[in-house]
Structure 1
């Protein structure tokens, strides 16, 4: 190198006041051709091998600063000269890469055009003649401010401006003026900032899930961190606030440095200003940075990009909420806190903790927060995640039933689960719930057909499985199996065998019954069985179906679950993996195997307990509430048996904000004895005596329970897919319950502020089951809702169907209800009309949005789409 030593020490100021410079830079001016030659030598991997990526960038910054200050002094660009050289882009940030352009502004204090032209030509022409890439402009401060006010891209660039040489006061006027103008105009420009970022993401894609990611412009890339800096300058966010040290990626600062180092090596290896990491360069980049091979490099890129994606989601959402108010907006009331679950509320479009919540004493709070986010589509507040990460203890093993239920609600919410799981994962909370996740986090796929990292593939598979929960009798095992079916990858052995062992470990931690743990383990062990056999063996050969039946031990439930898992796994792999051909083969294989297996065990009513018999004989109307585990309560209700009673009982509970997770419907000596396993939506349930009075009023016809439910949903102030009551203390007859001061209840017994309800994911299914004894059973599988049971049983009553007994269960977000019916007329037409009416009373499924489609990851990335308010 003609004038640059590769070692450098503390920076010092030269006589011209140009700022810090490495002592290794010579004191005499050099030609631009020497500058270009040194740039080429530094970019050569053989000559710069002693410099790591960060040192190389610093040497390049020192090199260009020295040339510019020297050349500026030669041209008379000094203090009080009326000229200043200002750098933007890489040199402005102090991040010069081997093949970065020079982005320069020659500022002047409205000097004569001849003098300005002379200085500009003397500065630009040597760089052009040396073939150094240059992006330049000549401006006065007012002109530069005008450009920044009209051009968003220029404004974002000028926010990174840095004085290099000449009149520092002139540079300070520009830099300070641009920042003040940015702060003053941010309310009007914020929507443009968001659209600008989204357009860039659409063009460049999501870095974390691209085979050849664009490190600079992609979602989760360097531009996003620079955007966070711009929002911090506008005083809307705290910029690159760190995540917890034990969080994956350890925060956006470290993620930014990793991507910047990779981009630096990419420039050196490619020999050009390339932004996309090509597969043929990946091994060399990984080796140069001592990361490992191309798979290790892909994992680092994915981890860093997802950390930055999470940070930009939070930053944009925080900035949108912090926009300054003007005019009448200043008089707007503060957002209302709407209850969602025990200890969880919605506030200002985010999921936050209730004021009474104590994370240190409530291990299940993490899952309740996540499930509330998935149910409503609202993002989790960053402060809430931070508070949970700091104080929430780990769940004891085995998990309480409530924790497992909340996990199943989360997994059963379809694609709405992706954002909350990503938020938990980026803040270290998901790894606490599922320690085995660390082995697959950001693990790149080994097959080109896979479009996601292994961990994201598992989440996608679970989201597709969430839309199939009404097709299987055990939706809980389906979504759990989808979530962990590839958990054995990245461990150096057959992932199906390793995963089956891990499934036992995970199932026991979740608190599943031993037989369910066995089924879950077998699902993981054989999740490739059906696709492999169906596509590689002759289905007409009887030995093919016999092989499947023998392998599965004749387990009909396991076969049913594997058929749904095969589809979810294929759809989550990539576009074109699941199609009509593969679907028809697996369907035919399952049909043939089912014919070789025995029939299912039919549902049957459970016998009444002595306590239930005693309660049935105690009074004409009776209600008993028994505390269960955690927030669960058992409610037994007794009333004279009559048509429509079940609908009224369920409706009374729904209007009191009590959601039923399971129920049994029976009778004794002309009295209905119905038991509900339930959880209040928020707070404590009303007294048993109050529910008894409401039930008596409903039975007497003084209250139309179903109409109240319909009115409540219709008058919800938030336009969502259904609503749930905001308060469990709602009174049906007017006023509030004794001693209640809940402001969410109005005088008519309606909640003042309803909240977003569950998104329907799977289509409802109702099927008839004929028993050998002639009993008529109707099985309903649908997404659960508060008020669902009241609506469905009202439909049965309206069609003349009498419910003799019923077994109702909610597995996660899916209701699996079996009704034993007596029909006034039992014909195929009557049955079909009844099925159609029951299905119509269920929540319809919502299709995956265009951005969540099966053909690939959304152009907006995996997180935060619902949480960016635009004013």
Structure 2
């Protein structure tokens, strides 16, 4: 038996084992049992030696009480006493050794009455006492508290349901969802382990049945994943990051992090749906006064649509509705629920699931309009699609959905799984329907634009074929099917062109116009979809800078489609020209900062210098400024670099500091590479393996006289400086650069004059790849 808490910690750490022994670890469930036994061995023996005798009992609650102790978890303990026993000395001899050894404790010392009073006021304490389990001391007093706490919960739960529902939803708003999240919180998130505790508490009060096998399987997966996450991290952590996914997946017998993410998303949906149904069935989601009113009289049945009524607080079927004979009834029920924000009644979903037919192709026009009404409902669409998908009804409408259900994203910019991203894009598109002439095609395009993912081919090409099939099945006229197909096929055209090409070039504009067959309707649909898609991707993806670039590109394309003249490249403004002329006269490098429509424009000028781009980019990176676009031109014999920037955090630096640093960079007295490397180390650098950088070439710029080199690499401080320096050392004249940062990835494009020398591209590419690693 361990004599000290330090012995307990050493034994626990030996049990967890080093990370290098991952292949030889105990299964998660066995590890949890071993941890419980180890801690209880120490606690029970130490409690006995500390004098926990008559009138004092040590109880385990929470995870320890349920025998679900995960690595590095706090020990949830209650030292309960009868008010007469000398409990203070016992508590000191129990708690202090654990504190000194660094073992986490969530503890309390209370009489039975005190514990019950606190449980009556605090739902979390009440739920914890439902798992109370005797460890040591007076078994009678421990059982008295456990029995009284359970009885108090059962008899008082009805009054506590609104408070319980509020606390659950407040936790969801802070932690987000397990399902659909790229970085789920396994404990606190919606559909997580805390929700399973609420389900168990409702079942304990006999308000719902004990959850079935599907929920039990979800519980096991969530608990096993949390166990392995903490063992891998070697500390208390509940948020699963993608970089830990492969190792944890292997420990759980899954192929990779994507398989794990998909399994967790399904588990989270199962638990969340079960708790949603439980809260509605118990009346927990209904204000108390409405519950009392419902007890006095039957709920109202208010018509919402043909065959659809609002029954109390749920959307239900009218008494004479016949799902088997009404193919549009399912969509009208769903649209009414999305529009009003009221959930669909479980009974209605069951009847629809049993008898609602799949609409025959081609869909009747009125059924198609019901679908458009559902897609345009806004925020309410999310919960409705979730409910339909859980009951198999969504797949009845869109069999193609199975390939993206719970599919995790492949890049860090996305915060949702692919299926939730499609729904969220549709929600955001609903706010933009007045900006296009065909709102129905915008909403359908939003729902389908990434449907081709998960099939190991270009998702835009696969998605376009699916859009053709779906559009035909929906009964759209042939021209509309063609437009919908083009929307899906080209949904990345505008953002990629705006952020990676020179939109002031006539060649760029005409290429976009030709790709879209000169169709203004398609251009407007893609403009709105670009905004909705970016908003639904994640925070920081749709910026003012990106919105301005896309809008500028769309305006130029619209002018070209109308046959009007395109504006030429924007010349230097008078202030920039004056800066160049001053630099030519004095010979001193100079810097100017000026506010722009989005962000700030920083202009650098230096005489007879081919390396303005790399040196300026290095100075900007030193001052935590993110570059979005850059051009380099000559004026009055001076190289002028114009940069569009925003602060990564904080405020803009003093222009005098930029001027001083740029002057030193030009003279060579400022070692930019060393400074940037040190800055990267200070900010943590990069840990673990990163994807290999890639270079792509795009010809036919400026009539074939220029080429675009596109670099795709993991972003880091000073990346633009390193790559631009490599290009300049290769003797390349950089005309302009576009820089896009998506999560932790960078997509940087450089316009270069074509060099006919043999092997030129290979040498340049090799230099860029070396610089980007």
Q: TM-score, normalised by structure 2?
A: 0.66
Q: From 53, 74, 77, give the equivalent of 2:28.
A: 53
Matched, 1:264 2:237: no
Q: Which residue of 1 aligns with 2:171?
A: 200
Matched, 1:432 2:396: yes
Q: Which residue of 2 aligns with 1:63?
A: 38
Q: Which residue of 1 aligns with 2:141?
A: 170
Cα 1:383–1:60 change in 2 (3 A) is: farther
Q: From 336, 355, 375, give the equivalent of 2:339.
A: 375
Cα 1:542–1:74 change in 2 (3 A) is: closer
Matched, 1:218 2:189: yes
Matched, 1:307 2:270: yes
- C-alpha deviation, 1:33, in angstroms: 5.4
Secondary structure of 1:340's partner? Answer: strand
Cα contact 2:180–2:420 (8 A) shared by 1:
no
- C-alpha deviation, 1:447, in angstroms: 2.6
CA–CA distance in structure 2, aligned partners of residues 453 and 125 of structure 1: 46
CA–CA distance in structure 1, aligned partners of residues 2 and 435 of structure 2: 77
- C-alpha deviation, 1:322, in angstroms: 8.6
Q: Which residue of 2 aligns with 1:38?
A: 11
- C-alpha deviation, 1:510, in angstroms: 1.8
Q: Which residue of 1 aligns with 2:329?
A: 365
- C-alpha deviation, 1:505, in angstroms: 1.8
Cα contact 2:185–2:238 (8 A) shared by 1:
yes
Q: From 513, 525, 528, give the equivalent of 1:549.
A: 513
What is the Cα-based RMSD across aligned positions, in Å? 3.2
Cα 1:209–1:272 change in 2 (3 A) is: same
Matched, 1:84 2:57: yes
Which region of structure 1 is more displaced relative to structure 2, 89-98 or 504-513?
Answer: 504-513
- C-alpha deviation, 1:121, in angstroms: 5.2
1:562-599 C-alpha deviation (Å, 9 max, x unpaired): 22222222222233433444334433433443445479
Q: Which residue of 1 aligns with 2:417?
A: 453
Cα contact 2:55–2:85 (8 A) shared by 1:
no
- C-alpha deviation, 1:479, in angstroms: 0.7
1:333-387 C-alpha deviation (Å, 9 max, x unpaired): 1211112223322112111223333445544432222111112221112343344
Matched, 1:255 2:218: yes
Q: Which residue of 2 aligns with 1:233?
A: 204
Q: Which residue of 2 aligns with 1:100?
A: 73
CA–CA distance in structure 1, aligned partners of residues 121 and 450 of structure 2: 51
Matched, 1:477 2:441: yes
Cα contact 2:425–2:536 (8 A) shared by 1:
yes
CA–CA distance in structure 2, aligned partners of residues 562 and 131 of structure 1: 57
Q: Which residue of 1 aligns with 2:320?
A: 356
Matched, 1:135 2:106: yes
Secondary structure of 2:537's partner? Answer: coil
Secondary structure of 2:283's partner? Answer: helix
Within a 5 Å distance, the mapping from 1:144-155 to structure 2 comes to: 144-155=115-126
Cα 1:354–1:254 change in 2 (3 A) is: farther
CA–CA distance in structure 2, aligned partners of residues 491 and 66 of structure 1: 52
Cα contact 2:72–2:235 (8 A) shared by 1:
yes
- C-alpha deviation, 1:224, in angstroms: 1.7
Matched, 1:400 2:364: yes
Q: Which residue of 1 aligns with 2:578?
A: none
- C-alpha deviation, 1:68, in angstroms: 4.4
Cα 1:37–1:532 change in 2 (3 A) is: closer
1:98-128 C-alpha deviation (Å, 9 max, x unpaired): 2222222233344x433x4565455556655
Q: Which residue of 1 aligns with 2:261?
A: 298
Cα contact 2:308–2:315 (8 A) shared by 1:
yes
Structure with more relative contact order (C-alpha pairs < 8 Å, separation 6 or more): 1
Matched, 1:535 2:507: no
Cα 1:203–1:587 change in 2 (3 A) is: closer
Cα contact 2:164–2:284 (8 A) shared by 1:
no
1:46-66 C-alpha deviation (Å, 9 max, x unpaired): 389352111211222333445
CA–CA distance in structure 2, aligned partners of residues 579 and 139 of structure 1: 54
- C-alpha deviation, 1:44, in angstroms: 1.6
Cα contact 1:42–1:48 (8 A) shared by 2:
no
Cα 1:331–1:300 change in 2 (3 A) is: closer
Secondary structure of 1:465's partner? Answer: helix
Secondary structure of 1:356's partner? Answer: coil
Secondary structure of 1:95's partner? Answer: coil
- C-alpha deviation, 1:287, in angstroms: 1.9
Cα 1:567–1:122 change in 2 (3 A) is: closer
CA–CA distance in structure 2, aligned partners of residues 351 and 328 of structure 1: 20
CA–CA distance in structure 1, aligned partners of residues 359 and 378 of structure 2: 24
CA–CA distance in structure 2, aligned partners of residues 581 and 329 of structure 1: 53
Q: TM-score, normalised by structure 1?
A: 0.59
- C-alpha deviation, 1:187, in angstroms: 4.3
CA–CA distance in structure 2, aligned partners of residues 542 and 532 of structure 1: 17
Secondary structure of 2:154's partner? Answer: helix
CA–CA distance in structure 1, aligned partners of residues 318 and 325 of structure 2: 14
Cα contact 1:42–1:98 (8 A) shared by 2:
no
CA–CA distance in structure 2, aligned partners of residues 449 and 130 of structure 1: 41
Cα contact 1:345–1:353 (8 A) shared by 2:
yes
Which region of structure 1 is more displaced relative to structure 2, 123-132 or 350-359?
Answer: 123-132
Cα 1:518–1:40 change in 2 (3 A) is: same
CA–CA distance in structure 1, aligned partners of residues 419 and 197 of structure 2: 28
Cα contact 2:180–2:406 (8 A) shared by 1:
no
Secondary structure of 2:348's partner? Answer: helix
Matched, 1:189 2:173: no
Q: Which residue of 2 aligns with 1:443?
A: 407
Q: Which residue of 2 aligns with 1:113?
A: 85
Give aligned pairs, total: 561
CA–CA distance in structure 2, aligned partners of residues 126 and 545 of structure 1: 72
1:479-514 C-alpha deviation (Å, 9 max, x unpaired): 111110111112111111111111112122222223
- C-alpha deviation, 1:533, in angstroms: 2.7
- C-alpha deviation, 1:186, in angstroms: 3.2
CA–CA distance in structure 1, aligned partners of residues 127 and 314 of structure 2: 28
Matched, 1:286 2:286: no
- C-alpha deviation, 1:327, in angstroms: 12
Q: Which residue of 1 aligns with 2:128?
A: 157
Cα contact 2:165–2:285 (8 A) shared by 1:
no
Q: Which residue of 1 aligns with 2:624?
A: none
CA–CA distance in structure 2, aligned partners of residues 363 and 478 of structure 1: 24
Within a 5 Å distance, the mapping from 1:489-638 to structure 2 comes to: 489-597=453-561
CA–CA distance in structure 2, aligned partners of residues 506 and 56 of structure 1: 49
CA–CA distance in structure 2, aligned partners of residues 453 and 591 of structure 1: 33
- C-alpha deviation, 1:182, in angstroms: 2.3
Secondary structure of 1:63's partner? Answer: helix
Unaligned runs of 5+ in 1: 1-27, 243-250, 600-855, 857-871
Cα 1:543–1:74 change in 2 (3 A) is: closer
CA–CA distance in structure 1, aligned partners of residues 361 and 46 of structure 2: 70
1:576-634 C-alpha deviation (Å, 9 max, x unpaired): 433444334433433443445479xxxxxxxxxxxxxxxxxxxxxxxxxxxxxxxxxxx
Cα contact 1:141–1:174 (8 A) shared by 2:
yes
Cα contact 2:47–2:94 (8 A) shared by 1:
yes
Cα contact 1:397–1:509 (8 A) shared by 2:
yes
